Amino acid sequence: MPGFGLVTPTQLGRPVWAEYGARLGYKITPATIVDLYADGVSGHAAIGTDVRVGAGMTYTF
């Protein structure tokens, strides 16, 4: 609710943004998979841009 609380939110009007992501996986052995990923969001000046990247390894036994 605008105007209530310690931090007053601003009116964004009609914000426009995009969310995106990619994942790449590689099977090293039948039980081991390595992943790389990136995802993020970009938008209106009040939203900004945020990108996250990471890696993972899955081992099935």
10-30 per-position pLDDT tens digit = 665 777 889 999 999 999 999
Q: Does residue 33 sit in helix, strand or coil?
A: strand
Residues 6+ apart with CB under 8 A from 51: 38, 39, 40
pLDDT at 57: 96
Separation of CA 41 from chain center:
6
Mean pLDDT of the chain: 86
**Token pair listed for 60:** 């099935």
| Residue 6 pLDDT greater than 70, yes or no | no
pLDDT at 13: 72
User: pTM here?
Assistant: 0.62
Helices (H), the chain: none
| Residue 7 pLDDT greater than 70, yes or no | no
